[in-house]
Chain A
């Protein structure tokens, strides 16, 4: 059977499974809708959290990014896993004990203020929309690649699918669907990795194969470093970012991970504090399986890519090279006219390649914006995971499996995020502020309507991505780190922290982060073009600036809180109460 048939078969089967689960786990009350009734087991919650967490970006892009960034890619590996340690130790048990539905709920009650709640809702919406826009685009790309349709059609199919899950089941449906999606995506990620590890190093475990020896007896990483040096790249294991920037980005990603509303809300779905801790442990263990395999995949893919293309005749290159070139994700221009691919350090094109309709002497697609540098090859980083099985010549069913896995990853994350957005609107805004006397049924209806609106808006972002969206998706973490994370941690660990301190900290933090992001990524403020790295404050990239904004948030919160009156007695009692694990009860409304 060929790849196309396998793809239809595997994607079809996995979707039938998801739909079946969504129908079986329909939500009847707001409690089931928001927190799955509060009765999910720690292992199931861990799997759902892992699927929710691992987006199209983790599944498709991360290994590719690391493949091209080498050591610098470590920021994602450490940042997106280390955050769970913070979450498990500093947030999850206490927020579970607090026992409300959402992060703004906690902020609003702990800081005895509707202003604080509103600020938190706005932060939650900014963070979630920034994040979800990228996901819908990812869904569209995966659908379009594997079902051979336009990206727009792909996004629309994705919107429809997400809507069905979220509409029917709310958190309950999403949680159990995500359990299934975790299984599909981890299987789909591991199978090709194991195949390639055996092929290249003879070791069945990719994490060990990465440090293993290749056929001629040299270590794989040593060989890759040598290849890099020969071609003028920085050694793979060294990296090019400054130590401070690596430090700042990693910390921002960690704190951001712990502060993302769609991750935190997961810990409201388990029965008690003990289970909240346990499920954070399961979640990280299940995530770590993918996150320790990804760097191995990067090394395999990088080595394979260089060996397959470097100094080879274009005419003799394998089929996959030309397929991806036809899709516009690989580009080659024969600058020295020798018919061979020269792949060395430097940008092959100025910006993304622009293809003309013409074909060159060797049959390659002519690009109009080739640069003057020696490097002739452009490879889009997103194709590494998708193309890897083809590059390694694995069987058709493995290639199809990757498609099903990519879709599972993208859909599970999008569904989780959309739920947070709709909860923010129906629960935090409508129920808590605008119309407190709304009935349970009315609130459920409002939640479903807002999910519908959120899906449509997110879909539009996916179809017409404004130039800056792609640039700011990774920055959602910076925003979460700069706003929620300090407010929640201080709310638990600093009893003296009061309304004035937390609100001013959050506002200054998120505004500072937004300003830096817009200033250095889009050029909307002040100058026409985004400012170059030489202008960065203390050499901090926008991705790492969350660390700075978070520090400012903490400093301001502490200073302001000490200059203003202590929080009232009953709020201090709340803090005492959440510090003790017993008596959590179910997640409840007021």
Chain B
């Protein structure tokens, strides 16, 4: 069965969104919270050292935002390609 052009384009845009969102996911947790923690700890956010804040607070907030952004993007994408239901 050949893949319809519509589906192929939809999938490509989906992959693009995933890549961007996962780069952010990686950057806030593994980047800011782990790999660059010592560097960021030189700065502070209120009473928090910045790297420590990312590891124990910031990354989690960003995770929640990422999923809700993803939901929005995908709902729009579904509509654009006529895959939305209801």
A interface, CB within 8 angstroms of B: 66, 71, 73-74, 77-78, 81-82, 84-86, 88-90, 93, 207-208, 210-213, 219-222, 237, 243, 246-247, 250-251, 272-274, 277-278, 280-281, 284-285, 288, 291-292, 295, 569, 573, 576, 579-584
Contacts and interface: CB of A to CB of B under 8 A. Distances in A.
A246 B66 CA distance: 23
A90 B18 CA distance: 8
B5 to A, nearest CB: 13
B11 interface: yes
A47 B21 CA distance: 24
Nearest to A225: B49
A222 B47 contact: yes
A243 to B, nearest CB: 6
Interface in B17-47: 18, 21-22, 25, 29-30, 33-35, 37, 41, 45-47
Q: What are the 3 closest A-B residue pairs judged by CB atoms, nearest first?
A: A219-B47, A74-B55, A211-B47
Nearest to B41: A237
Contacts of A73: 56
A280 B75 CA distance: 14
B85 A579 contact: no
Contacts of A237: 41, 49, 52
Contacts of B49: 221, 237
Interface string B54-72: 0111011101101110110
Contacts of B52: 71, 74, 221, 237
Contacts of A291: 60
Tell me what chain A mostly uses at the interface: helix, strand, loop, or mixed.
helix
A78 B55 contact: yes
B35 A243 contact: yes
Contact of B63 (A66, A81, A212): A81
Contacts of B56: 66, 71, 73-74, 77, 292, 295
A292 B60 contact: yes
Contacts of A272: 85
Nearest to A572: B1
A65 B63 CA distance: 22
B11 A85 contact: no
A274 B75 contact: yes
B64 A77 contact: no
Nearest to A573: B1
Nearest to A77: B56
22 contacts: A66-B56, A74-B52, A74-B55, A74-B56, A77-B59, A82-B25, A82-B29, A84-B63, A85-B66, A86-B25, A211-B47, A212-B46, A213-B47, A219-B47, A237-B52, A251-B30, A274-B74, A277-B71, A573-B1, A580-B10, A583-B85, A584-B85
Contact of B7 (A212, A222, A295, A576): A576
Contact of A576 (B1, B48, B55, B60): B1
B60 A288 contact: yes
A291 B71 CA distance: 22
A261 B30 CA distance: 25
A247 B55 CA distance: 11
B48 to A, nearest CB: 4
- Size category of the binding interface on chain B: 35 or more
Given A82-B59, A89-B18, A237-B52, A580 B83 contact: yes
Contact of A84 (B37, B48, B67, B71): B67
A250 B47 contact: no
A372 B45 CA distance: 41
Nearest to B45: A211
A78 B10 contact: no
B67 A280 contact: yes
Contacts of A288: 60-61, 63-64
A277 B33 contact: no
A284 B35 contact: no
A212 B47 contact: yes
A70 B21 CA distance: 29
A281 B68 contact: yes
A77 B30 contact: no
B25 A85 contact: yes
Nearest to A236: B52
Identify which of A74, A77, A220, A277 gathers the most chain B CB atoms within 10 Å of its CB: A74
Contacts of A85: 21-22, 25, 63, 66-67
Taking each of B48, B60, B78, B86, which has the highest tally of chain A beta carbons within 10 Å of its own beta carbon?
B60
B70 A89 contact: yes
A281 B66 CA distance: 9
Contacts of A74: 33-34, 52, 55-56
Given A89-B21, A213-B47, A250 B30 contact: yes
A277 B67 CA distance: 8
B25 A207 contact: no
A73 B56 CA distance: 8
A277 B37 CA distance: 31
Contacts of B86: 274
B3 A576 contact: yes
Contacts of A220: 47
Contact of B74 (A90, A247, A277, A285): A277
B21 A569 contact: no
Contacts of B82: 582
Candidate in B10, B22, B30 with the most chain A CB atoms within 10 angstroms? B30
Nearest to A66: B56
B11 A569 contact: no
Contacts of B18: 89-90
Given A89-B18, A284-B64, 18 more contacts: A71-B52, A74-B56, A81-B60, A81-B63, A82-B29, A86-B25, A212-B46, A274-B84, A274-B85, A280-B67, A281-B71, A292-B56, A292-B57, A292-B61, A579-B7, A580-B7, A581-B84, A582-B83
A42 to B, nearest CB: 10
A78 B60 contact: yes
A571 B82 CA distance: 24
A463 to B, nearest CB: 36
A277 B70 contact: yes
Contacts of A278: 71
Nearest to B75: A274
Contacts of B22: 85, 89
